[in-house]
């Protein structure tokens, strides 16, 4: 895999000793990504995880519950990694660039997970209509904290709305994610490299954040 393209490959989760719930969640990521949430059956996940079909229901109520559990499990890991990495940056501007970089690196490093989080979650009516995605708002909160700190230390202009800006930033990153995933499905190169995408998104947002920027 290079910076310009990556391909979706079929990943089978081999049965192993240990936490069955973990095995099921790991398998669900790949099954939902490969087959799509609607086309996936609980038995498909069970087979990939190396467990009996009925075992799934010992841990999850139904397929939607399994999808939501995948989201919560993976977001816990992502949030821990994100916060750890951002602590290494000394200023809000550096943290903002690293935030963008980490988001896009995840897409290229783990396409199956990116596919589930960016595309397949939206196929679940339960997730869209009923679930309060606390982990998602915690993720947005990391970006909001960076912006708030930048306002406090004078790095960013004081008249921006961090809640609005965090949404705009996520929207840009989400669109790039969907674009890259589409390129992978169609086996065609992405229109820009990871480094180019990071720099362009960062420069776009920072140009409007600086104290000298005008509305």
CA–CA distance, 115 with 206 (Å, rounded to integer): 28
Question: How far is C-alpha 33 from the chain's CA centre?
Answer: 13
Specify the pLDDT at position 14. Answer: 46
Q: Which domains does the chain have, with CATH numbers?
A: 70-209 (1.10.357.10)
Query: If DSSP codes are grouped into helix, strand and coil, which group holds residue 91?
Result: coil
The model's pTM: 0.84
> Which of 175, 178, 196 lies closest to 186 in space, CA to CA?
178
Helices (H), 87-185: 92-109, 111-118, 125-129, 134-152, 162-185
Size (the chain), residues:
215
Specify the pLDDT at position 10. Answer: 39
Q: Are 39 and 58 in contact (CB under 8 A)?
A: no
CA–CA distance, 114 with 174 (Å, rounded to integer): 10
Burial of 54 (0-12, 13-18, 19+ CB in 10 A): exposed
Specify the pLDDT at position 205. Answer: 87
Low-confidence residues of the chain: pLDDT under 70: 1-18, 209-215
The angle formed by the CA atoms of residues 164, 82 and 187, to the nearest 5 degrees, is 85
Specify the pLDDT at position 11. Answer: 43
Average pLDDT, the chain: 87
Specify the pLDDT at position 114. Answer: 95
Specify the pLDDT at position 212. Answer: 62
Burial of 207 (0-12, 13-18, 19+ CB in 10 A): exposed
> Which of 34, 30, 109 lies closest to 66 in space, CA to CA?
30
Query: If DSSP codes are grouped into helix, strand and coil, which group holds residue 139?
Result: helix
Specify the pLDDT at position 4. Answer: 39
């Amino acid at each position: 895999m290079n910076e310009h393209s990556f391909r979706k490959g079929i990943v089978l989760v081999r049965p192993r000793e240990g936490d069955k719930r973990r095995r099921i969640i790991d398998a669900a990521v790949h099954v939902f990504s490969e087959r799509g949430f609607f086309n996936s059956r609980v038995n498909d996940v069970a087979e990939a995880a190396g467990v009996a079909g009925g075992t799934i229901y010992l841990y999850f109520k139904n397929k939607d519950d399994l999808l939501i559990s995948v989201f919560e499990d993976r977001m816990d890991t992502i949030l821990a990694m994100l916060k750890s990495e951002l602590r290494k940056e000394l200023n809000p501007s550096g943290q903002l660039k690293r935030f963008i970089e980490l988001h896009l690196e995840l897409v290229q490093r783990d396409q199956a997970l990116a596919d589930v989080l960016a595309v397949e979650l939206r196929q679940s009516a339960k997730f869209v209509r009923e679930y309060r995605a606390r982990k998602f708002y915690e993720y947005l909160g990391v970006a909001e904290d960076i912006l708030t700190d930048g306002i406090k230390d004078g790095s960013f202009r004081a008249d921006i709305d961090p809640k609005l800006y965090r949404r705009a930033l996520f929207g840009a990153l989400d669109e790039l994610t969907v674009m890259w995933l589409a390129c992978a499905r169609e086996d065609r190169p992405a229109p820009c490299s990871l480094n180019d995408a990071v720099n362009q998104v960062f420069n776009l947002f920072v140009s409007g954040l600086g104290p000298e920027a005008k509305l």
